[in-house]
Amino acid sequence: MANGSSRISWVDYAKGICIVMVVMMHSTLGVEEATGETSWMGALVAFAKPFRMPDFFLISGLFLARVIDRPWRAYLDTKVVHFAYFYALWVTIQFAFKAPVFAAEQGWMGVLQAYALAYVQPFGTLWFIYLLPIFFVVAKLTRGVSPLILWSLAAMLEIADVHTGSVVIDEFCAKFVYFYSGYAFAVYFFGFADTVRQNPREGVLLLFAWTIFQTQMLLGGWAELPFVSLALGFLGALAIITASVLLTSAGLAAFFRIAGERSIVIYLAFFLPMAVTRTLLVKFAPGLDTGLMAFIVTAVAAVTPLLFERLIRNSALKFLFRRPAWAKLSPTPASRPAKAA
């Protein structure tokens, strides 16, 4: 447990590692595009690609069993309206910053059309919190379906490598199997974590073997083949769980735990410090190593949202990361007891 609460530390570590990898991907690719050069950070991004988002979705499904049987109104409030609020808020904020650039290219009518389209086609980095509520709803609607049947169908969608041009459809097909696995087989993932905790030496050896195997799959060009990509997604998730348990047991790299506890804060707000830091480094430190530049951008983009959230936590701006009461569904009123005759 973490901090005497009901939080499970290794889960926070896993979420933290995943969100940092997401920030690292966007930061590194942005720097490499701006400089026209590749870097050692790009190699890390490529290594993480097979498992970065699969693990994020798998972890998101681990505790679904605790709430999936709640009444629909309460379920929708926490699993749909919650994310819809933050998506609508932050897609508006992102457009406010990017509107001048879009207007120069497409005109202001084009900006309005792009903004409206963002509610159908997820915008930029926010597609994860757009898709997650869909996963929650589908999981509840299919509550009565055999887990084996539903998992097999979800796995077939991932293997099919669907490309329709719709982010929602394509990412649903590619990622739902991991989310559903986290929900349906949570007991086995928690059991695996317990096994690693009891056998840390074997956990280290497992990570070493996985690193070699994954590298070979990537270098051989096999990582995106049908069935292989599915297997690498799950193997990577197990590797992240292993690393998270080992870090928790050793009390190391506490930043990942903090990042995991506040992962949505980082996910929502990292785009701005990322863009600003990248622009400043490219302009004022053009000779800096591209990998080091990407590392600095990643660090600033990951840390700044946490500092900003801490600063505004008790201010009028807290609505940026904390859903206000008006954006919540009120509980269903309890029926009045019948009057005694």
Q: Assess whether pLDDT exceeds 60 at residue 236.
A: yes
The model's confidence at residue 104, banded by pLDDT at 50, 70 and 90, is confident
Round to whole Å and give the CA distance between 55 and 31: 25
DSSP 206-228: HHHHHHHHHHHHHHTT-TTSTTH
Round to whole Å and give the CA distance between 79 and 82: 6
Q: What is the DSSP letter of 198?
A: H
Considering the entire predicted model, what is its pTM?
A: 0.92
Burial code (b: 16+ CB inside 10 Å, e: under 16) for 14-37 equals: bbbbbbbbbbbbbbbebbbebbee
Q: What is the DSSP letter of 124?
A: G
**Whole-number percent of the chain with pLDDT over 70:** 95
CB 179 within 8 A of CB 60: yes
Which pLDDT does position 334 carry in this prediction? 52
CB burial class (10 A; 0-12, 13-18, 19+) of residue 4? exposed
Per-residue pLDDT averaged across 254-271, rounded?
Answer: 95
Which pLDDT does position 338 carry in this prediction? 45
The model's confidence at residue 103, banded by pLDDT at 50, 70 and 90, is confident
Q: How far apart are the first and last CA of the chain?
A: 52
- Please give the backbone phi and psi of residue 238, each rounded to the nearest 5 degrees, phi first: -65, -35
Q: Two tokens at 130?
A: 């757009």
Q: Assess whether pLDDT exceeds 60 at residue 339.
A: no
Per-residue pLDDT averaged across 60-67, rounded?
Answer: 95
CB 200 within 8 A of CB 246: yes
**pLDDT by residue (tens digit) across 12-42?**
999 999 999 999 999 999 999 999 999 999 9
Per-residue pLDDT averaged across 172-181, rounded?
Answer: 98
User: Which has the closest alpha carbon to 101: 279, 265, 277, 269?
Assistant: 279
Q: Which residue has the tokens 């919190």?
A: 129
Which pLDDT does position 193 carry in this prediction? 97
Which contacts (CB < 8 Å, 24+ apart) does range 161-167 have? 161/224, 161/226, 161/229, 166/121, 167/121, 167/122, 167/127, 167/130, 167/131
Which pLDDT does position 332 carry in this prediction? 64
**pLDDT by residue (tens digit) across 113-126?**
999 999 999 988 89
Indicate the range of 118-127, 181-190, 262-271, 274-283 predicted with least confidence. Answer: 118-127
Q: Assess whether pLDDT exceeds 80 at residue 3.
A: no
User: Which has the closest alpha carbon to 9: 305, 241, 187, 306?
Assistant: 241
**pLDDT by residue (tens digit) across 65-91?**
999 999 999 999 999 999 999 999 999
Domains of the chain by residue range: 9-327
CB burial class (10 A; 0-12, 13-18, 19+) of residue 239? buried
Q: Assess whether pLDDT exceeds 90 at residue 55.
A: yes
CB 39 within 8 A of CB 31: yes
Q: Which residue has the tokens 């097909």?
A: 173
CB burial class (10 A; 0-12, 13-18, 19+) of residue 237? buried
Round to whole Å and give the CA distance between 153 and 173: 10
Q: Two tokens at 204?
A: 């280290």
Q: Assess whether pLDDT exceeds 60 at residue 336.
A: no
Which pLDDT does position 333 carry in this prediction? 59
